[in-house]
Amino acid sequence: MAAVDEKAAAATASSTPPAVIKQGWIKKKAEHLRDWRPRYFILRENGEFIGYRKEPSTEAELSNILNNFTVKNCEIILTDRPKKYTFSIRGLHLTTVVERTFHAESEEERKSWVDAIENVKRKLEDGETVEADEANDPTNPFSKRGEKKSRKGKSKVTFENFEFLKVLGKGTFGKVILCREKATNQLYAMKILKKEVIIKKDEVEHTMTEKRVLQRTDHPFLLTLKYSFTTVDRLCLVTEYVNGGELYFHLSREHQFSEDRTKFYGAEIVCAIHYLHEKAIIYRDLKLENLLLDKDGHIKIADFGLCKEEIRFGNTTKTFCGTPEYLAPEVLDDHDYGQAVDWWGLGIVMYEMMVGKLPFYNQNPEVMFGNILVEDVRFPRNVNISSEARDLLLGLLVKDPVKRLGGGRSDAQEIKAHLFFESIDWDALENKKIPPPFRPQVLSDTDTRYFDIEFTRESVELTPPDQDDPSEFATITEVAESFSQFSFNDGMGSVGGAA
């Protein structure tokens, strides 16, 4: 929703403009500041919502466009915050979802603008005023809705396929947004990553690994990928939406889980990790934040960026990666390591669930790493843990990966056979026939009570790509081939390269 370039402005001025539906002064909230700026807006029947610094009276002034929006297929939100008589228009600008906010002087004025926008939007949706030139205009972000076609003739997914509902989380690389696919009304979680940040922080390979692992896997206790696609400045992973919250969230509330509850979660994790190992993938990042619950209370492992592919029994890697509190001794000691690294992670998270804290944690990282390398596992006196649970944890947290429970050729079978898991029917577990010990209290599919309110109350607005810094754009363009195999459509195969 930036100003159009001079060439486009000249073309607009030289041709007969579509009919004006409404025009007048209205205040627009600044995009990066908190002030409100008066703008003279003209709403045309083709959906153009064009703003000027002053009321235009000549053709030259008409071409001096300050804001160039479209209301086609937009969403209008009425609010009285931060000021009364406010409304927002949410929609796409090129390939990014943006939201712009306006303030009227009275309820009547707001209603007049909103009614006019709704009428134009409805007529455009009904196809009453769409012109041939507009339908083929590549600068119009809403000219082609729904699934697009790639050069190979397969469906290509874009932002336009989705309605964006809530922010679920955010981090260094981007956001996770709850969205609804328009064609099916199905809810998904969309992880939207900034190419520029990924490139600068040398995370291209991890990002591509996550996409490949998600694409290759299909297991009841692993998050599943529906689509992946790219825009000029972002990478998007569309996965199933899991709204039961992270185990970290639940444990922080309850402090400890019972042995039976820990056994259930531990068993589902064992099944998922065993499945990955059978596909020659090690996970390398088991931690409570990556262990989600679905609406029924089953485990879903998420975040596959640190996975390593082509690691079978006997194969090793040496990359130093992971979360400090959960690092295995062989990783810290800079030794070659293999599949057994994941069983150390299992031991850490199961200890954390039953005891309520990490086994080797210290605020000083150097002390903590020393504890991981040389200290024995200790159990607090005030925590009652069965002998079977102690034996399992001590077996999983053996420093030597060769001697670790699950560290041999039989891998997960050794863990499944342990006395602690004697009551588990593994076939029934994988088929989700064992009722979970805890069911999240979600009231609806869009209930986000188990997500941090710091994120869910945020606007779902995405910052448009910076068009003013050609050097940044050039950097992204130079490495575009890094993401050429990113796009994916579940059930339909690859849907083409970068958008």
Active-site annotation, residues: 285
Distance CA 208, CA 228 (A): 11
CA distance 28 to 104: 9
Tokens 């492992």, residue?
Answer: 301
Query: What torsion do the CA atoms of 62, 64, 67, 73 make, to the nearest 10 degrees?
Result: 40
Which CA distances in Å does 337 have to 225, 226, 363, 375?
28, 32, 26, 20
Q: Provide the pairing of β-strand 308-309 with 187-194.
A: unpaired
**126 φ, ψ to 5°?**
-80, -5
Using an 8 Å Cβ cutoff, are 273 and 346 in contact? Answer: yes
d(CA 33, CA 181): 32
d(CA 314, CA 316): 7
CB 423 within 8 A of CB 410: no
d(CA 497, CA 139): 20
Judge contact between 242 and 223, C-beta under 8 A.
yes
